[in-house]
Amino acid sequence: MEKNGSKLKDFMIKHRKALISLALCVAVALVFIPTLYRSQVDELSQDVAGLTDQDEIQTQEEETAEEEPQEQTSDEDAEAEKTEESSEETGTAETAVSGHPTGSSSQGQTSSSNSGSASSGSGSSSSTNSGSSSSGSGSSGSGQGSDTSTPQEPEQYTCYLEVECHTILNNMDSLKEGKAHLVPSNGVIYSANVKFTPGQSSYDVLRAAMQAAGIQMDAEYNSLYDSAYIKGINNLYEFDCGPYSGWMYSVNGIYPNYGTSVYTLADGDRLIFSYTCDLGRDL
């Protein structure tokens, strides 16, 4: 026993530095290993907590997404119920007025009378004629009837249009054979106040008036004037009464220097198409 103790003592003396280093390592290990373990445990706990929070957020988003359609459906159902209730009230109001349910064959007549009631501000159920639940039906007292106004017609202008051939009366000897019967005794082929749409040209007005009156008219496009050129009216053509004869037009006593389909008329204009036998010098 003493021998073993002596050996142990010698071993410890001989390896004292190594044993001290080992002891220090063990002490350090005992101090830092728990600390390292705790830090790893804390990190794991934080990761687990983060994953849990993400799962909760995702779950809440899914629940919200599921609830939203239900809420929308509920709102749509509520609106549908309100519409049905309004429709029932409308039908009841119309029945009370016309004596027939909505959609009966007598509704058109009842609607007419109801419109009159509405215009007088009586606030009766005639406002249901508009066909919508928001028109103030039943006892709402809105006093507004259905919109029975017709679309407004386009604005109309009026001008005086005359087609005359007085110059031929003074040059009957130059008129082609067989054309005399086409010349009126007073030289006026057509005259009237005609209506037209704003923006129409003198050619448009002439063509419409001749078609309406059944008077023959012949025209073609003239590249020189970039406009329609009147060749003949009432079968009286250019050159029928001499080499310088043909049709000219004036507006308010002025002869424009451009084609008839280019000249835009104004309200109240005086448009005259005249037959000349001398390039307008006889007009």
Which domains can be identified in the chain, with CATH numbers? 1-149 (no CATH), 157-276 (2.170.130.30)
Phi first, then psi: give them for residue 233, nearest 5 degrees: -135, 130
Q: Between β-strands 188-196 and 157-164, what pairing exists: parallel, antiparallel or unpaired?
A: antiparallel
Do strands 157-164 and 270-276 pair parallel, antiparallel, or not at all (unpaired)?
A: parallel
Instruction: Write down the pLDDT at residue 80.
Output: 66
- Dihedral of CA atoms 77, 82, 86, 89 in degrees, nearest 10, equals 100
The vertex-231 CA angle with 202 and 171, nearest 5°, equals 105
Q: Give me the helices (H) in 99-142, please.
A: 107-119
Could you list the mean pLDDT of each consecutive 10-residue stretch along the chain, which spans 283 residues?
Answer: 68 78 80 72 71 69 63 61 58 39 37 38 40 41 54 85 97 96 97 97 97 97 87 97 97 94 96 97 95
pLDDT of residue 142: 44
The pLDDT, as a whole number, for residue 229 is 93
| Spacing of C-alpha 210 from chain mean position | 38
The H or E element containing residue 51 is: helix 16-98
The pLDDT of residue 33? 73
Q: What pTM does this model have? A: 0.48
Per-residue confidence (pLDDT) for residue 66, from 0 to 100: 62
Are 259 and 222 a contacting pair, CB within 8 Å? yes
**Largest Cα span, the chain:** 176
Could you tell me the two tokens for 262? 């280019």
